[in-house]
Amino acid sequence: MQARPLPKPSKNDSPALIKALIKENAILRKEIRVAREAAEITASLVVKQFEETERVLQKLQDANAQRKAVLDSATQIAIIAADLNGTISVFNTGAENLLRYRAEEVIGKTTPEIFFLKSELERHLEAIKVDSGRDVKGYEIFLEYARQGRKEQQEWTYLRRDGTRFPAVLSISALRDPEGVLYGFLCIAMDVTEKKRSEKALAESEANYRFLIDNIPNVVFRGYADGSLDLYDDKIEIMTGYQKGLFDSRQFTWFDLILEEDRPHVRQKFIDALKSNKSYIREYRIRRKDGEIIWIEACSKIVCDEDGNIDFVTGSFLDVTERKRAENALYESEQKYRSLFISGPNPIFVLDRETMTILDASPSAEETYGYYKDELVGRNFEELGTFESEDETLSLMESRNWNDSCIFSQRIKHFRQGGEPFYVEVKACPTSYQGRPAIILAASDITEIIEKDAQLFQASKMTTLGEMSAGIAHELNQPLNAIKIGSDFLKKQIEQSRPILSSELHEVVSAVSTQVNRASEIIQSLREFGRKPDFRKEKVDVNATIKDVMKIIGQQLSLQNIKVVYDLDETSPPILANKNRLEQVIFNLVTNARDAIENHVHFPQDSVEDIIVISTWSEQRTHLNMTISDTGTGIPEKNIPKIFEPFYTTKEVGKGMGLGLSIIYGIIRDFEGTINVESKPGGGTRFHLRFPSGEKAG
Amino acid sequence: MKKILIIDDEKTTLQMMKFFLGACGYEVLTAENADLGLEIFEKELPPIVLTDIKMPGRDGFSILKMIKSMRPETEVMVVTGHGDKDLKQKALDLEAAEFFNKPLNTDALDAALKKIEKKIGI
């Protein structure tokens, strides 16, 4: 803003001037009397001069009013004038507003020095000294600037009365009288706080924008109808391998890079967008300079001029090759799992983790359970059967926190449509399905395995029975022998017509009767033993089972001079088991003990006793323990880990199939029991079995 | 009167044998185990002995051996519930007079006894 020099304020001079004119006028009047004619002329001149003077005075007053109005109307511009001594003569409303001083506080009282920072002032003084060699002090700096007639605006920091500061743009002008003599200076300052703030904001916004452009992986572009591009940074070079200049110089277009086969749909998308909202996202492949093909996602917007003609297209490119690869991998993996789900031989269910509602079921699930998928989905899984083993009282689902562990459940009874039961083994893992916490549950139909298991068990029993047949024959032959001889005696007496004493007859028929009972008991035990087992569990009295087993082989053991010592705790609790299978366990362990004793060579005169000790005891009524110890050969330490393996045997070929202990192990585990073995070669073997009490079970 | 000693761990069998052999005209001595049997043998010196093989304690074979070594002229017959050729062979090797399976064929026993009676002349 350029300040015009104001006319010298000369209002005070006007009355003096008038007085002088009037005095002169009086002299002239005297002369008029001397020379009237001349006076006439002179008078008219004086009037004219007076009128002229009046006019000038009026003009001056107008100018002053105008000046004041100008000064006061500039409420946000500080206008300060000072004379050669620096004394302030003008301090407008704007100056009052900005600097918070009142005009009467500063006019005629101070220099403008107080409005400036001392340090800033010093810096300017120093600069003047360097530039023009003039050594000036304080406010003289402004006079100096005025004198030099510097027109440029300078930025100064203004100091308010309260000590706060603001930046201002300052223009300094010289005040000169009509003769051109300097009589003061004028400072016009404008507060640029807001301007500076917005400038700063603009600069920041620009920097941010730049930063964004530079740092987003997207290549920002502006494209034209001919396929040429304007680009804002060099990232295109990394993306395509081509120099940015090649695009700038229009040597080739973006469209050239797009793979031939992708071009039709790229064009189509553009046409579609033009007809609709003018925005579009396209995915296509381009060939890089090095020949590599990459996937590009281009988001664009068509910008049209007022007539609706395409002006340009603005948008960004992004290399999405990695994402595409991941998407493909995900798709493939999903396809793979989908195909497993669809074609897997085992039924697979997806269940809601909270409610156990079936969310999805595989075709194999439809087939196995005999329901259509529509009938399964939405149904509660537990309607198909429990989610818990028959013998477990705690629901697996409730007791489980699903963090990331899978649960595995053995032998659960499920029902097909129509209520036919079958056995499954279930494996369930937590997952999420359509955003909900879910469970993937695979059920394997193990009915056949269970049947095979039973067959194997049966086969093994039959093997044992085969081995035992000679012994059993001996057992049966004893009563038969007694009956035979007794009856032959009666026959002989009758044939030879000899009398039979009634005491003899009574003894013989009694013997026949008891011996028949004895034989049928043996047969009954054999039938029990050979019976095909079911896998139902019930409370079983272990002591009674031991006694039943010993009925079959006890006699044989005594014939082999093996002493059996029983140490049974008759108060011990029952266990949850299957009697037939428990018999098999005891039978196998006892016969193993017998075999170990038979193989233990010692001389009869050693007076070593061959003993099998069978003990049971209760462990705080929560568990039942059973041990079967023998004085046999013992097991070498290296073989102990192997003894529960299927087909491991130390018996000579043909004597055992080696299934005994592995089957025992399986059965015991099924009863949730444990089996341990302690043995020393030559020092006998002790099998320790431990089962949870079945007392509390249903 | 002709004496016969029967050794068997089955009490009922012993009783029935006593009736049967009594009907055949024998004075029947019985023992429930080997030791008792040998004791009776030494005391009574019966010319004919019928023993079971499988018994708790000393078995029939050791009775056979001991009696044969004490009085080789004694006719010892063995009986077993295990109808086994090996056992029979072993018994015959030890000079058993006869080998019978259980249940006992009483006709065969009759025949064997008649043969022995004739041989030893009682």
Instruction: Give me the CATH number covering residue A55.
Output: 3.30.450.20
Q: Tokens for A539?
A: 């409370």
Shared domain for A521 and A540, answered yes or no, is no
Shared domain for A430 and A469, answered yes or no, is no
Separation of alpha carbons A186 and A693, rounded Å: 111
Q: What is the pLDDT of residue A399?
A: 45
**Which of A141-145, A589-593, B95-99 holds the top average pLDDT?**
B95-99
Q: Each residue of A422-457: b (16+ CB within 10 Å) or e?
A: bbbbbbbebbeeeeeebbbbbbebbeeebeebeebb
Q: How many distinct structural domains can be found in chain A? A: 5
SS3 (DSSP) at A541:
coil
Residue A204, in any domain of the structure = no
Mean pLDDT is lowest, of A168-177, A627-636, B34-43, for A168-177
- Do the chains contact at B10 and A478, CB–CB below 8 Å? yes
What confidence category does residue A392 fall into, taking pLDDT thresholds of 50, 70 and 90? Answer: very low
Q: Which chain B residues have a beta carbon less than 8 Å from that of A481?
A: 10, 13, 79, 81, 102-104
More confident residue, A144 or A623: A623
Average pLDDT over residues A162-185: 85
Q: What is the pLDDT of residue A226?
A: 78
pTM exceeds cut of 0.80: no
More confident residue, A264 or A25: A264
Mean pLDDT is lowest, of A345-359, A457-471, B22-36, for A457-471
* CA end-to-end distance (rounded Å), chain B: 9
> Among the three residues A325, A359, A379, which one is the final residue of a domain in this structure?
A325
Domain around A689:
534-698
Residue A470: is its pLDDT beyond 70? no
Residue A213, in any domain of the structure = no
Percentage of residues in chain A with pLDDT exceeding 70?
84
- Do the chains contact at A489 and B13, CB–CB below 8 Å? no
Q: Tokens for A636?
A: 């070498």
Shared domain for A441 and A462, answered yes or no, is no
DSSP run (H or E) holding A159: strand A154-159
Residue A280, in any domain of the structure = yes
* Cβ burial, residue A207 (10 Å; 0-12/13-18/19+): exposed
Residues A478, B10: contact at Cβ < 8 Å? yes
Number of Cα atoms under 13 Å in the Cβ half of residue A84: 6
- Do the chains contact at B104 and A484, CB–CB below 8 Å? yes
Residue A541: is its pLDDT beyond 70? yes
> Among the three residues A532, A554, A588, which one is the final residue of a domain in this structure?
A532
Separation of alpha carbons A153 and A171, rounded Å: 5
Shared domain for A16 and A139, answered yes or no, is yes
Probe site for chain B from A468, A478, A505 (most B CB atoms < 10 A): A478
What confidence category does residue B107 fall into, taking pLDDT thresholds of 50, 70 and 90? Answer: very high
More confident residue, A278 or A643: A278
Q: How high does pLDDT run on average in chain A?
A: 81
Shared domain for A539 and A552, answered yes or no, is yes
Average pLDDT over residues A578-591: 87
> Among the three residues A467, A500, A532, which one is the final residue of a domain in this structure?
A532
Separation of alpha carbons A679 and A219, rounded Å: 78
Q: Tokens for A310?
A: 């395409």
Shared domain for A157 and A251, answered yes or no, is no
* CA end-to-end distance (rounded Å), chain A: 105
Alpha helix positions (H), A393-446: 396-399
* Class of CATH domain B3-114: alpha beta
pLDDT digits (tens, 9 = 90+) for A101-122: 988 888 888 888 888 888 888 8
Shared domain for A674 and A541, answered yes or no, is yes
Shared domain for A365 and A506, answered yes or no, is no
- Do the chains contact at A484 and B103, CB–CB below 8 Å? yes
Query: What secondary structure does DSSP assign to A166-226, as a single string?
Result: EEEEEEEEEEE-TT--EEEEEEEEEE-HHHHHHHHHHHHHHHHHHHHHHHSSSEEEEE-TT
pLDDT digits (tens, 9 = 90+) for A559-582: 788 899 999 999 989 999 988 889
Residue A211, in any domain of the structure = no
Residue A593, in any domain of the structure = yes
- Do the chains contact at A483 and B103, CB–CB below 8 Å? yes
What confidence category does residue A245 fall into, taking pLDDT thresholds of 50, 70 and 90? Answer: confident
List the Cα angle A227/A233/A239 in 5-degree steps: 70
Separation of alpha carbons A356 and A566, rounded Å: 51
Tell me the residues of A at the B interface, defined by beta carbons under 8 Å apart: 470, 473-475, 477-486, 488-489, 492-493, 496, 498, 504, 507-508, 511, 514-515, 558-559, 561
Shared domain for A119 and A133, answered yes or no, is yes
Shared domain for A136 and A149, answered yes or no, is yes
Residue B33: is its pLDDT beyond 50? yes
Shared domain for A597 and A694, answered yes or no, is yes
Residue A335, in any domain of the structure = no
Residue A251: is its pLDDT beyond 50? yes
Q: What is the pLDDT of residue A12?
A: 54
pLDDT digits (tens, 9 = 90+) for A652-687: 544 554 557 777 888 888 888 999 998 888 888 999
ipTM above 0.95, yes or no: no
Shared domain for A153 and A237, answered yes or no, is no
CATH classification at residue A581 = 3.30.565.10
Separation of alpha carbons A401 and A65, rounded Å: 92
Residue A4, in any domain of the structure = no
Residues A438, A348: contact at Cβ < 8 Å? no
Q: Read off the DSSP letter of residue A382.
A: G
Average pLDDT over residues A220-247: 83
Residue among A478, A479, A488 minimizing CB distance to B106 = A488
Number of Cα atoms under 13 Å in the Cβ half of residue A188: 18
What confidence category does residue B49 fall into, taking pLDDT thresholds of 50, 70 and 90? Answer: very high
Residue in this structure with the two tokens 């790229």, named with its chain if needed: A266
**CA A487 → CA A83, A474, B35, B50, B112, distances in Å?**
165, 20, 29, 19, 19
Q: What is the pLDDT of residue A690?
A: 94
Residue A337, in any domain of the structure = no
- Do the chains contact at B16 and A511, CB–CB below 8 Å? yes
